[in-house]
Structure 1
Amino acid sequence: MAAEPTTKVFELYGKKINSKEIFLKKAAEAMEFPQYFGNNWDAFDELITNLTWCPAQRYVI
């Protein structure tokens, strides 16, 4: 029997997000970004387009 594909689910609640800084902070917490996350758009883009730091076969936000 083949192993089931792994899916990583990230839950981000946006109700209290009202600025870029808060979004980046909450996204980093919800997605468990690595310590080296730079808290800026470029770092965010890098981490969500190259998910090698969080291995799975599928991702859901």
Structure 2
Amino acid sequence: MNAADLRSILADAEHSGAYFIDERDTGAMAETAGALDYAIVRVDLTGCDDKAGLMQRIATAGRFPEWFGGNWDALADTLRDLSWWPAPGYLFLIENAAQWRGANGGDFDTLLDILNEAAFEWARQNVAFWALLPFPGDQLTALED
């Protein structure tokens, strides 16, 4: 996919959501989001063991306010707000998530639901919100099942 196509895709708020991508595309996605002046949030889950660790890493990477409660409801509320970080669009890269997903399958599904709900809310305001989860290419087919 060329840079113009990628820019067109990321600029389209109607198609925002949480998506699995090939980890080899991470750099191009981040670069394109930067060119669109999007807020880029990179969450590295290497060594993350549990939901509390996930919440801390997302809060730190996303510069969440002190009032963030560190639970699913607070995450949903915070992702739908983002008033402290105004931007024409948002790109969340949830990197190195395979181990966390394997150990926290139900919570992983909840995270995807919350990310998608936030994307749909932002799309209603015509603001792109992308949550991309890079995985090795050979694992992508299994994730879609």
Q: Same fold (TM over 0.5)?
A: yes
Query: Which fold has the larger relative contact order, with Cα–Cα distance below 8 Å and residues 6 or more apart in sequence?
Result: 1
TM-score, normalization by structure 1: 0.82
Name the residue aligned to 1:50: 81
Runs of 5+ unmatched residues, structure 1: none
Q: Structure 2 CA distance, aligned partners of 1:6 and 1:57?
A: 7
- Counterpart of 2:69 in structure 1: which amino acid? G
Name the residue aligned to 2:5: none
The alpha-carbon deviation at position 5 of structure 1 amounts to: 5.3
The alpha-carbon deviation at position 53 of structure 1 amounts to: 2.3
Q: Looking at CA atoms only, which structure, 1 or 2, has the larger radius of gyration?
A: 2
Map of 1:23-38 to 2, 5 A cutoff? 23-38=54-69
Name the residue aligned to 1:6: 37
TM-score, normalization by structure 2: 0.37
Q: Structure 1 CA distance, aligned partners of 2:88 and 2:49?
A: 31
> Is the strand fraction higher in 1 or 2?
2
The alpha-carbon deviation at position 56 of structure 1 amounts to: 0.5
Q: How many residues align?
A: 58
- Counterpart of 2:58 in structure 1: which amino acid? A
Q: Considering only aligned residues, what root-mean-square deviation do their CA atoms show, in Å?
A: 1.5
> Is the helix fraction higher in 1 or 2?
2
Q: Structure 2 CA distance, aligned partners of 1:21 and 1:5?
A: 32
